[in-house]
Amino acid sequence: MAFELPPLPFDKDALAPHMSAETLEFHHGKHHKAYVDKVNGWEQEKGLSGLSLVEVVKKAKADGDKGLFNNAGQIWNHSFFWQCLAPAGKKPSGELASKIESAFGSTEALLKKLGEESVNHFASGWGWLVLDGSELKVTSLHDGISPITEGLTPLLTIDVWEHAYYIDYRNARPKFVETVLNNIINWDFVAQNLDGQGISRADQAAK
């Protein structure tokens, strides 16, 4: 098995000033890596050989193994999160834009709702735009929980653990959330998740 830390899909300084190279050095190079190392360290003890990351997350949930569930979920969530970001993010278009319009009224309304959900999420976790069946929904999940074990299809996420914003924004989660959602979202990736292409890209990146 031995999971690997996937490389960032952009240069470390490509998201500045919205997300600095220093934040990415710590968030990707230390926090994300620590989850990978932790799960790899359990390979023998917890019988994880030969399992994919998603299988590990599902097994941990079935076994009620919270430590493994959160650490493996965090590998997956971060691998997915990096794919959700891009320098100079464009706006949603095509099928995604029409789905957003019929579910929320407009992209601005979606960003407001997702922003509020993410800002108001208590303590550590993630804000998510998901498909619940064929319906677009905004939600938030705690710690390392991922939509992949909740029967939901992830389209877009924002990390609201303190380590995601403390270097660049100190304690100002609202400013971080607003800045990321309005400036560096990779809407092409979000659109690819409507039919699962993007998710398989994130899964591969997680191995």
Where do contacts with Mn ion occur on this chain (CB under 5 A)? 159, 161, 164
**Which residue, 69 or 104, has its beta carbon nearer to Mn ion?**
69
Q: Considering the complex, what minimum distance in angstroms separates the CB of residue 163 from Mn ion? A: 5
Structure tokens, 43? 């390979």
Say whether the peptide bond before residue 154 is cis (omega within 30 degrees of 0): no
Q: Evaluate the CA torsion angle 9, 110, 181, 169 in order and state its sign.
A: negative
Structure tokens, 120? 């108001």
Q: Considering the complex, what minimum distance in angstroms separates the CB of residue 148 from Mn ion? A: 17
Q: How far apart are CA 204 and CA 86, in angstroms?
A: 18
**Which residue, 100 or 146, has its beta carbon nearer to Mn ion?**
146
Q: Which residues contact 181 (CB under 8 A, 6 or more apart)?
A: 111, 114, 115, 158
**Which residue, 159 or 168, has its beta carbon nearer to Mn ion?**
159
Structure tokens, 92? 């949603």
**Which residue, 104 or 128, has its beta carbon nearer to Mn ion?**
128
**Which residue, 91 or 142, has its beta carbon nearer to Mn ion?**
142
Q: Considering the complex, what minimum distance in angstroms separates the CB of residue 70 from Mn ion? A: 12
Outline where 136-196 has alpha helix (H): 166-169, 173-183, 187-192
Q: Considering the complex, what minimum distance in angstroms separates the CB of residue 30 from Mn ion? A: 10
Q: Considering the complex, what minimum distance in angstroms separates the CB of residue 109 from Mn ion? A: 27
Q: Considering the complex, what minimum distance in angstroms separates the CB of residue 67 from Mn ion? A: 17
Report DSSP state, residue 6. P
Q: Are the CB atoms for 118 and 159 separated by under 8 Å?
A: no
**Which residue, 136 or 164, has its beta carbon nearer to Mn ion?**
164
Neighbouring C-beta atoms of residue 170, cutoff 10 Å: 11
Q: Are the CB atoms for 163 and 68 separated by under 8 Å?
A: no
